[in-house]
Amino acid sequence: GNSVTQMEGPVTLSEEAFLTINCTYTATGYPSLFWYVQYPGEGLQLLLKATKADDKGSNKGFEATYRKETTSFHLEKGSVQVSDSAVYFCALFRRGGSYIPTFGRGTSLIVHP
């Protein structure tokens, strides 16, 4: 079956530090890959997505590249802010037909001033 593995958190950084949150997946076929962000007490918001190999999703300074050869979709940001503190979820959806979305367990990011 499909699965998504994220690095354990929390990840604690100082403001303006470089961020990487690792995500690897196993899936049949050609899934679409997503990063969602959840702020305290809220639902999940779509952060970025990539639908095929070598695609790069980007939004709000965050980037992730769909790497089929390493089955990875690592999230990066060059300079984090305190307001980026949240929980980040990596997810995959198999394209086409019926599908069940698969989420990672989430990685908590804490950014200190």
Partner 1 sequence: GAVVSQHPSRVICKSGTSVKIECRSLDFQATTMFWYRQFPKKSLMLMATSNEGSKATYEQGVEKDKFLINHASLTLSTLTVTSAHPEDSSFYICSASFRLADTDTQYFGPGTRLTVL
Among 13, 93, 109, 111, binds partner 1 (CB under 8 A): 93
Among 15, 18, 101, 112, binds partner 1 (CB under 8 A): 101
Judged by CB under 8 A, the chain residues 67 through 86 that form the site for partner 1 are none
Among 2, 7, 67, 99, binds partner 1 (CB under 8 A): 99
Interaction between residue 87 and partner 1 (CB under 8 A): yes
Six token digits for residue 79: 């300079």
Q: How far apart are CA 7 and CA 9, in angstroms?
A: 6
Six token digits for residue 21: 């949150």
Interaction between residue 106 and partner 1 (CB under 8 A): yes
Decide if 1 contacts 61 (C-beta within 8 A): no
Interaction between residue 29 and partner 1 (CB under 8 A): no
Interaction between residue 2 and partner 1 (CB under 8 A): no
